[in-house]
């Protein structure tokens, strides 16, 4: 997964920087094509975050094992270290959920789903 993640860095960076500009610019110019380009670019960021999840959980797991194997933490401290490293990995889950909800918002905002003609 790390190699897939590495290949996605450039598209994710483009998505991160250009998506908001495209969405806002499209909204001001009433250009739905530009808005959808922004949504697609933002989707690249969401996909990158999804691919990053297993990489980060693996890194936390390897760090925990390495800290224990090298004697940097005792067995008694191991539970606390595990909690901290798991919490660090879960921040990536929170970021992914936030990005997915933002993507859904953009899609719903700029389509006719849920809108009434009243």
Give the domain ranges of the chain. 2-109
Cα angle 41, 47, 20 (rounded to 5 degrees) comes to 30
Q: Read off the pLDDT band of 7 (50, 70, 90).
A: confident
Beta carbons within 10 angstroms of residue 41's beta carbon: 21
Question: Of 112, 105, 102, whose CA–CA distance to 32 is shortest?
Answer: 112
pLDDT 10s digits, 35-45: 999 999 999 89
- The pLDDT assigned to 118 comes to 46
Is the predicted pLDDT of residue 86 greater than 80, yes or no?
yes
Confidence at residue 117, expressed as pLDDT on a 0 to 100 scale: 52
Of residues 11 and 82, the one with the higher pLDDT is: 82
Assign 71 to helix, strand or coil. coil
CB within 8 Å of 88: residues ≥ 6 apart: 56, 60
Query: What mean pLDDT comes out for the span 82-87?
Result: 90
Q: Alpha-carbon torsion 50, 55, 58, 64, what sign?
A: negative
CA distances from 28 to 10, 18, 20, 22 (A): 27, 15, 12, 10
pLDDT range class, residue 14, cuts 50, 70, 90: confident
């Amino acid at each position: 997964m790390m190699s897939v993640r590495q290949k996605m860095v450039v598209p994710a960076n483009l998505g991160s920087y250009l998506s908001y500009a495209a969405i806002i610019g499209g909204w001001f110019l009433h250009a739905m094509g530009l808005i959808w380009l922004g949504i697609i670019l933002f989707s690249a960021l969401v996909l990158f975050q999804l691919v990053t999840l297993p990489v980060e959980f693996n890194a936390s797991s390897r760090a925990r094992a390495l800290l224990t194997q090298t004697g940097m933490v005792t067995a008694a401290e191991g539970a606390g270290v595990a909690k901290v490293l798991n919490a660090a990995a879960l921040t990536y889950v929170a970021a992914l959920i936030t990005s997915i909800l933002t993507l859904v918002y953009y899609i719903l905002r700029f389509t006719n789903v849920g809108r009434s003609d009243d």
